[in-house]
């Protein structure tokens, strides 16, 4: 297995970023200035057959849809509007019909949110298997998009929807990217920091804590669970594709009053301190057996 | 082997394009309006280990560089300026050092042309092998970028550099994307249509002929050859990454006078007629044994 985090740690410092790059690698999307008051958002993600879906039992439409929706979730996490996508598929031992259905699954999922698939590439693999990648492009107002780094001590930690049991429930193949939610939060300034939960609530909370340089205290009992989820594993399972964000305390009441979208739950608070994710008694949840993110 | 052209023929009509898409799939890059007088260009391409480079003998740096430069060549073909890239690598049975060197090779090649690698993804493959994909983003003036479809009967067909023997000479791993050339041609209105030669001069000429709905007459003897190239195979070998473009006849003299960049050769002319690529006597070069594009 590639140790992605370790490779990135070595790679990122050697990637020069031009002045027009507002946010480089490390957030849900990169953000670049492309003239005017709009910011261009861009993210790329991969889907590997046998890793991100079962090669034998997952339909190509569902796999393609998952790839698109994972990327849409990254746009949602920035509070952006998805616009365009480029789709690459490399496949070996699959029929043209399979590849076509995969691409259509991705395109259909994007179409629901106004995304045009404007380009891409198809290639043959010398061995059996599939690797697909998708780049999503979106836009946001330069004054109203959300990074992971903006949380302040005292901000309240919220999560959309429910957490856990994504694999067994099939949620990981059929989730709703929280685009309306992300955009509403960003455009109205409710979210001081935001990301989407793809690798597990605790791991993604740690990313927010590190980027914002503070400690997040989470009440595990407050985390809303998907049907069938167990509380401990739910915090680290991943593939939830919900939004995790912080709200300045002065905005909480107003948010509650005007919010008309999906379920919203307060699960913790940001505190000053070394980046960490703790329970209410201040005990770290990150390296705590089943509550950890080794999976 | 996937029949890419056949799959695309079925897929493309089912890809809806929003109104802000100036040029959708089918050209070297897609072009979208993103506010103001600038056009955003986007293209994605893949590089498969064992298909686009030798897994045993090609260095990871050279493979990464090739991936970046193939994409830069697509920006060149639109007359654009490359700006940002997103890089995905899926690898099995490779060391972290190999992956790191691949990424650095791509990033270094981009840096020479002002490209920031702003995002991407790394993934493990369950089997041995590598698939990498890169999305390149660039900009062009809305009034000065070049599609494949703008050639008119009477326009003169030109090619940059030399053609053929790309594989044996190593050119395919170490070529110069014709960015300065493409931009100069587009910004000064010298090129009525343009693309880059990736799949063979004849096949790419046919694409230009089809997009512009005319016949291209090429003098095979006029095609400038790379050292070691044989004339017949050179026309269909591919991986030349040179620009093929048409010049309105009234602009030819001025172009010759002001051109200070790489070698430029006139190899043919556009004529009215069904889309085809012919020799000077009007005989099609496309389905003519070794001169064809079956490779």
User: b/e per residue, B63-102, with b = 16+ CB within 10 A?
Assistant: bbbbbbbbbbbbbbbbbbbbbbbbbbbbbbebebebbbbb
Asked whether A286 and A277 are in contact (CB, 8 A), the reply is yes
φ, ψ for residue B113 (rounded to 5)? -115, 20
Contacts of B53 in chain A (CB under 8 A): none
**Residue A288 pLDDT > 70:** no
Cross-chain residue pair A15–B107, CB shorter than 8 Å? yes
> What pLDDT score does B290 carry?
43
Mean pLDDT, range A138-151, rounded to an integer? 94
Which of A152-156, A247-251, B278-282 shows the lowest mean pLDDT across its residues?
A: B278-282
Q: Identify each DSSP E strand in B14-80 by its residue range.
A: 21-23, 30-33, 38-48
**Residue A178 pLDDT > 70:** yes
Cross-chain residue pair B131–A25, CB shorter than 8 Å? no
Which of A205-209, B55-59, B190-194, B208-212 shows the lowest mean pLDDT across its residues?
A: B55-59
The ranges of chain B annotated as CATH 3.90.650.10 are: 156-291
- Flag whether A204 is marked binding: no
**Residue B218 pLDDT > 60:** yes
Average pLDDT value for chain B: 92
* Per-residue pLDDT tens digits for B12-25: 888 889 999 999 89
Six-digit token string for A81: 């509007």
**Residue B102 pLDDT > 60:** yes
Superfamily of domain A15-141: PurM-like, N-terminal domain (3.30.1330.10)
- Flag whether B199 is marked binding: yes
Calpha distance A277→A284 (Å, rounded): 6
Mean pLDDT, range A37-41, rounded to an integer? 91
* Local structure of A95: helix, strand or coil: coil
Separation in Å, CA of A187 to nearest CA in chain B: 19
- Flag whether A121 is marked binding: yes
Separation in Å, CA of B107 to nearest CA in chain A: 7
Mutate to test the interface with A, among B1, B2, B5 (most CBs of A within 10 A): B2
pLDDT interval class at A146 (50, 70, 90): very high
The CATH architecture annotation of domain B4-141 reads 2-Layer Sandwich (3.30)
**Residue A290 pLDDT > 50:** no
The ranges of chain B annotated as CATH 3.30.1330.10 are: 4-141
> What pLDDT score does A7 carry?
84
> What pLDDT score does A195 carry?
97
Cross-chain residue pair A117–B25, CB shorter than 8 Å? yes
Residue B201's H or E segment, with its range, is helix B201-212
Separation in Å, CA of A249 to nearest CA in chain B: 32
Mutate to test the interface with B, among A111, A116, A124 (most CBs of B within 10 A): A116
Class of domain A156-291: alpha beta
The ranges of chain A annotated as CATH 3.30.1330.10 are: 15-141
* Per-residue pLDDT tens digits for B122-174: 999 988 999 999 999 999 999 899 999 999 999 999 999 999 999 999 999 99
- Flag whether A174 is marked binding: no
- Compute chain A's Rg from CA coordinates: 19
Cross-chain residue pair B96–A6, CB shorter than 8 Å? yes
Half-sphere exposure of A267 (CA within 13 A, CB side): 27
Separation in Å, CA of B221 to nearest CA in chain A: 33
**Residue A231 pLDDT > 50:** yes
Nearest to A34 among B24, B38, B128 (CB): B38
Cβ neighbours of B263 (radius 10 Å): 12
> What pLDDT score does B295 carry?
36
Contacts of A147 in chain B (CB under 8 A): none
Which of A175-179, B4-8, B60-64, B145-149 shows the lowest mean pLDDT across its residues?
A: B4-8
Name the residue of chain B whose CA is nearest to A47's CA. B123
pLDDT interval class at A4 (50, 70, 90): confident
Mean pLDDT, range A31-40, rounded to an integer? 86
């Amino acid at each position: 297995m590639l140790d992605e985090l370790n490779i990135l740690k070595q790679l990122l410092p050697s990637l020069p970023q031009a002045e027009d790059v507002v946010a480089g690698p490390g957030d849900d999307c990169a953000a670049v200035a492309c003239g005017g008051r709009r910011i261009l958002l861009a993210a790329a993600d991969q889907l590997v057959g046998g890793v991100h879906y079962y090669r034998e039992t997952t339909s190509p439409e569902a796999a393609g849809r998952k790839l698109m929706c994972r990327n849409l979730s990254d746009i949602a996490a920035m509070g952006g509007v998805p616009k365009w996508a480029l789709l690459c598929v490399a496949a070996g031992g699959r029929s043209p019909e399979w590849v076509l259905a995969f691409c259509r699954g991705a395109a259909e999922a994007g179409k629901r949110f106004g995304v045009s698939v404007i380009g891409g590439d198809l290639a043959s693999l010398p061995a059996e298997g599939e690797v697909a990648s998708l780049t999503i492009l979106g836009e946001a107002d330069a004054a109203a998009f959300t990074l992971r780094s903006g949380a302040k001590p005292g901000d309240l930690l919220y999560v959309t929807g429910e957490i856990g049991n994504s694999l067994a429930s099939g949620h990981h193949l059929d989730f709703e990217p929280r685009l309306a939610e992300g955009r509403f939060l960003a455009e109205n300034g409710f979210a001081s920091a935001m990301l989407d939960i793809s690798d597990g609530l605790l791991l993604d909370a740690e990313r927010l804590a590190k980027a914002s340089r503070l400690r997040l205290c989470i009440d595990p009992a407050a985390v809303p669970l998907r049907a069938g989820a167990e509380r401990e594993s739910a915090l680290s399972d991943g593939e939830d594709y919900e939004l995790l964000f912080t709200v300045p305390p002065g905005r909480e009441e107003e948010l509650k009053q005007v919010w008309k979208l999906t379920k919203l739950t307060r699960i913790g608070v940001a505190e000053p301190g070394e980046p960490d994710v703790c329970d209410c008694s201040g005990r770290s949840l990150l390296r705590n057996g089943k509550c950890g993110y080794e999976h």
